Structure 1
Amino acid sequence: MDILKAEIERKRRQITNSNVLAPDKKYFKRGDLAAKQAEDYWRKHGRLQADSENTKENGESSTSKTDNTQEEKQAILPRKEVIRKLRERNEPIRLFGEEDFDSYQRLKKLEVQEPDINKDHGYDNDFKTAMDKVDEEYLVEIMKGEGSLPSNDVSVKDDGTSRDDIDQLRSEIGKGDPKKDQEVMLRFYRLILKLWGEQLNKREESLKRTNKGKMQSAFHTQTVAYLKPLFRKLKNGVVDEDILDSLVFITEHVMDKDYIKANDRYLEMAIGNAPWPIGVTMVGIHARTGREKISSRYVAHVLNDETQRKYIQAIKRLMTQAQELFPTDPSKCFNYKS
């Protein structure tokens, strides 16, 4: 009984201290007591102040966010400008259920991710670059103002090799000495480039300034640029063995003026003659049939890297020019035209 009385007295004291019981009343509601206890609890832990501050901040942030959105909508680009920019990027001008502001937001996102897709970071065009270089040199000569109109000549380098040295070069190549073979090929390819350039420079000035004449000069300029890595390897004697043999055979056939066989060797080197020219040997748990036949002469070397592809392509142009510079019987010419 003493314990029960003590508990009742404690409850009465708690109720009196919590100011739930009004002075003019003898009773109170249990809900008022629970609300007062909860308020005391949250005040003790500092939640009421934090919640009120968060609510106030959220209200201000939502208000500022709404204001920013309204300002952004007011600063939106004209619809015609948005359509033009989206079409430049090959993007749809409006998606399903999309409003003008949504289209504008999508355009902004595209501009952030790919800012210069149609300006400076497009696909490179090597031929156009070569033509631009020819045009630039032509304009530089015009700006110099050296009396008469400038010519659209190409750069020609002479290492002392002439047509009379071809027979000697033919007797030195293919003797089993890789260093000598690379030296002979370097001199022969430079000779073709020199004769090709001299032939272009002998054209009339009016022909050099035409679009066709500028294209021919651009082909020569581009070929010289493509062959620089190969010439560097030939000079140092470090050409890859997997294509050295093919280059030697191609050079021998071109010197012999047998352009049919030279073209066959070129195709064998460039694209290979294996059923799968890339050289895939394992396609699953079983080895590919005839995988032992895949060697350097069966693989498509034009697929190795971009630098090798370029000078392999340039070699084909040298073969075409050699066919014009050193004519032979039509039966030995590739794509012969009367």
Structure 2
Amino acid sequence: MDFAALMSKEISKKRGSSPTNEPAKKYMKRADVEAERKAQYLAEQSALEAQREAKAAQRRQKEEEEAEAAKLREEKKKKFIEELKIRREEQEAEEERARRKRLGLPELVKEESVEVDDDDIPEDELVEKLRAMGQPARLFGEGHRQRLRRFVRLGVVMTQGPIPTSLELVDEKDMKVGTVPKDIEGKKYLFRQLASYFTMVLKEWESALDKEKRDTFASKAAYNAMVSSKENMTPLFRKFEKGDLDEGVLEPIVEIVKAAQERRYVDANDGYLRLSIGKAAWPIGVTMVGIHERSAREKLHESDKGHVMGDEVTRKFLQSIKRCLSFAQVRWPPEDIRQLMG
């Protein structure tokens, strides 16, 4: 068989057979390579994310279990402390009863405690209310239950305002004061009138400063003066609540407030000066003509002395009253210009 026959035979074999597998590509496109790399990267990231989520879930479960265990331990500890405290109180009560019985003393009558719920008032709100009432926020060794019981025993409803007070404030039409009454009920109503008037002035003062508040030195100084006046007048409000304000201070304050309500600010300022520095003669030169001190000499002008130097608290709230007068004549100017303070 010659070469041509062999070639034709091989060619016919190739044509007759249908190959199923195509040869592998020798070259690949860059887009295909990038797509394959991206798919592989996404698969790896998905696997890592699944691992992270599994670890986070395990960590959360472990933390929840630890928190639950800590909560149980804390509850057991509190329960144990309460039981120990009850046993100690019972033991002390038993010892006290035995001691009183041995000495022949009558038995103690157990005081009825005020039943309160610990969840009635949150701790922060309870502390704020006690501070607003002028009471200690926390006492030594006092827990939340005792603090709440103390607040309930006080039973004081504070009036909201620049200076919270337990006094029931009156309307503006009922704030007009007159003379100092002699009876107790009249004085209580007078204290309510005074507290209402100063509350109104402080509210107007604060509102006026809020409207004209600017980032200047004068504005900041005026605002600080108002805040200082509120703080310094708080002891005066506490004296109003207790009704223990000295007559020598109460009468001039009533005179000042009455003149201010009638827009006679010069007269109010005169009353303030008499209250603060008094009207006694200032000693100039020789004050005594003998070498011996006469008896009761210091009582001759005792009523003429001012109260501003009596103590620091009195001095501060008297100065705050003067600041209230200065604002009042701007907020409610007098009809007679001669009644403007200098």
- Give the alignment's TM-score, normalised by structure 1: 0.45
Task: Report the TM-score, using the length of structure 2 for normalisation.
Answer: 0.45
